[in-house]
Amino acid sequence: MGYFSILGAIPGFFLSSFFFMLLWGVIAPSLDLATVGYPTAMLMTITLWVAVAPLAAATARRK
Cα separation of 53 and 33, whole Å?
A: 28
pTM: 0.73
Q: Are 18 and 41 in contact (CB under 8 A)?
A: yes
Classify residue 28 by its DSSP letter: G
The candidate with the shortest Cα–Cα distance to 12, out of 33, 54, 42, is 42
Do 42 and 62 meet the contact criterion of CB atoms below 8 Å apart? no
Smallest CA-to-CA distance from 47 within 27, 17, 6 is with: 17
Q: Per-residue pLDDT tens for 11-59?
A: 988 999 999 999 999 999 999 999 999 999 999 999 998 888 888 888 8
